[in-house]
Copies of this chain bind each other. A is one copy, B any other.
């Protein structure tokens, strides 16, 4: 009998009615003759209110205690969801991370799963029970409760699916993964399929459908994921190994990230090692630098620009200002009004001229490009924030709406293992 892991996100169990709805989705699947393992997040808003409560008691709560506190959110949700499934006449049993067990390392608030004992779940399944598993939480070898970081329930679901050799359904409040944010591009289309690698680029660029780590986990273990709405019946988006994504398009999706800031160091003396001097203190402060641009040198001086997360921007500016003084740069300028627009697609690997076409689309609208970065399947441009949404719409029209003709087959070069 086929087993499927069904994961419900916070909005899908956010009220009593939604918990009952989730229970009905589980029962529908049972009625199709499948075995179901359920994974649930905390009820929407619960985790945030627990965090607020913690900070009202202690601004710097020990992370171990934070995990003890946050783990209650999922425990509450799974017991209620289990009650709702029982009410529909199907026996269900809720399980905390430590009861399975889902063993993790001891890095509190962002632990990683090291192994899962699935015997108890297999026993329950064979006895006809629906195991309802707490997402987001695990336990160390020393019996300490850990949590997996924001969105960690996705990772729990994917890891369980992997351990059980099952497919993984992610029930959420959107109907799937789209070619662009539908709030920006009304004509954005739901994707039938997307490869792990594309999904990773789409996730990290702002399409917040799934936790990045869960997609990495799925890619590593070949877990087939189906992202779909818990409120509608329609099929969602399958996230699959590249070899199962039959239709390779040059551009699968367009993303917009408005959560970065640009910092420019003006008139840096251009001598070897200057970049290292500038960036080392940032690394030591655990600030991740994203796009870096170094201008052509004039008279022994150059300008250096880079982007960081907007949360880190002020701290980064202070650090860089100090270094700039030491190395005799002229000034440091921070710009929070930037946006990173990206196109993502497996087909880029075997398609030429995509970057040039992207630049052309942007320049046609008079949008200046401040920085460029690329991966094998992604091209990103940093632009003025006020043109962000316009850029997404233009690129969507050029590459997705009008771009069908450059759809390519399975004749790509440079295929990578996933």
| Residues of A near any B CB (own CB < 8 A) | 16, 19-20, 50, 53-54, 56-58, 61-62, 64-66, 68-69, 71-72, 75-76, 78-80, 82-84, 86-87, 93-94, 96, 98-99, 143-145
Knowing A58-B84, A83-B61, A84-B57 touch, does A72 contact B72 (C-beta < 8 A)?
yes
Please tell me if the beta carbons of A65 and B53 are within 8 angstroms of each other in the complex: no
- Complex: how many Å from CA A98 to CA B96? 12
Q: A7: shortest Cβ distance to chain B, in Å?
A: 19
Counting from the closest, the 5 A-B pairs by CB-CB distance are: A68-B79, A69-B79, A72-B72, A58-B83, A58-B87
Contact across chains for A76 and B69 when beta carbons are under 8 A apart: yes
State the oligomeric state as a number of copies.
Answer: 2
Q: Nearest B residue to A82 by beta-carbon distance? A: B65
Distance of A141 from chain B, by nearest CB (Å): 13
Known: A54-B83, A98-B98, A99-B144. 4 other contacts (CB 8 A): A58-B84, A69-B76, A72-B75, A72-B79
A50 CA to B75 CA, complexed, in Å? 12
Q: Note all chain B residues with C-beta closer than 8 A to A80.
A: 53-54, 57, 69
What chain B residues lie within 8 Å of A68 (beta carbons)? 75, 78-79, 82, 94, 96
Nearest chain B CB to A72 CB, angstrom units: 4
Minimum CB–CB distance for A79 against chain B, Å: 4
A406 → chain B closest CB, angstroms: 51
Which residues on the B side are within 8 Å of A64 (C-beta)? Answer: 93
A86 touches B69 (CB 8 A): no
Residue of B nearest to A59 (CB): B87
Kindly state the separation between the CA atoms of A58 and B20 in the bound complex, as whole angstroms: 9
> Which residues of chain B come closer than 8 Å to A53, judged between CB atoms?
16, 80
The chain B residue sitting closest to A87, CB to CB, is B58
Report the separation of the CA atoms of residues A82 and B57 in the bound assembly, to the nearest whole angstrom. 10
Bound form: Cα–Cα A96–B84 in Å: 26
- Are A86 and B65 in touch, CB under 8 angstroms? yes
Q: Is B75 a contact partner of A143 (Cβ separation < 8 A)?
A: no
Most buried by B among A72, A78, A83: A83
Alpha-carbon distance A99/B67, docked complex (angstroms) = 14
28 inter-chain pairs at a CB distance below 8 angstroms, sorted by A residue, are A50-B76, A53-B80, A54-B79, A54-B80, A57-B83, A57-B84, A58-B83, A58-B87, A61-B83, A61-B86, A62-B82, A62-B83, A64-B93, A65-B79, A65-B82, A65-B83, A65-B86, A65-B93, A65-B94, A66-B79, A68-B94, A69-B83, A71-B75, A72-B72, A72-B79, A75-B75, A98-B98, A99-B144
